[in-house]
Structure 1
Amino acid sequence: MTDTEVKAPKIEFPQTDYPIKVISDTGVGNKDTIIAIVLKHATINDERIDERQSSNGKYTTIQLHIVATDQDQLYNINSDLRASGIVHMVL
């Protein structure tokens, strides 16, 4: 790797306040579905759940803060959320 190439930042685990942003369709029960999926893999800080709708109301962004233990956990959360059919993007 040359000096001009950019390396992805390394995450040091565990992270006790790791943010996850989920962009999904707006719909009744979607927030609960997203939270249930994440809870299968991690502990969520209930005091740090934020929800915002897009200007046209079609999409909802939910930001959660979790205890992240390793890269596999983050991969599994991402995979399960995207497999739900209501999630468009996980950041």
Structure 2
Amino acid sequence: MNNDNPPPKIEFPCPDYPIKVLGEATERYREIVLSVMEIHAPDFDIEKITIRDSRNGTFQSVTVFITATGVDQLQAIFDDLKKLPETRMVL
């Protein structure tokens, strides 16, 4: 495998950029994820949000599509989502 090729670069602004968060399935978690998104990407499309519960209902994934404006914005979103005690993974 050739590792000389750099990963593809994102061109900003990048519409429909998905951010998926996996955490404990609580009503509070969903609301706090959306509040973080409103701080950093207030123009996200609320109609495109997908929420899925795990088979046993223990965990929940929340996917939000934003218009990514830059690396700093994405890093701030990831950092704030990772700080939530319920969060297990941010993709």
Cα RMSD (Å): 1.3
TM-score normalized with structure 1 length: 0.91
The secondary structure found in structure 2 opposite 1:13 is: coil
Structure 2 gaps of 5+ residues are: none
Q: Structure 2 CA distance, aligned partners of 1:29 and 1:12?
A: 33
Q: Structure 2 CA distance, aligned partners of 1:34 and 1:69?
A: 19
1:48 aligns with 2:76: no
Larger helix proportion of the pair: 2
Correspondence for 2:88: 88
Q: Structure 2 CA distance, aligned partners of 1:7 and 1:88?
A: 28
Q: Structure 2 CA distance, aligned partners of 1:47 and 1:27?
A: 20
Correspondence for 2:29: 30
**How many pairs align?**
89
Q: Structure 2 CA distance, aligned partners of 1:41 and 1:22?
A: 15
TM-score normalized with structure 2 length: 0.91
Q: Which runs of 4+ in 1 moved over 4 A?
A: none
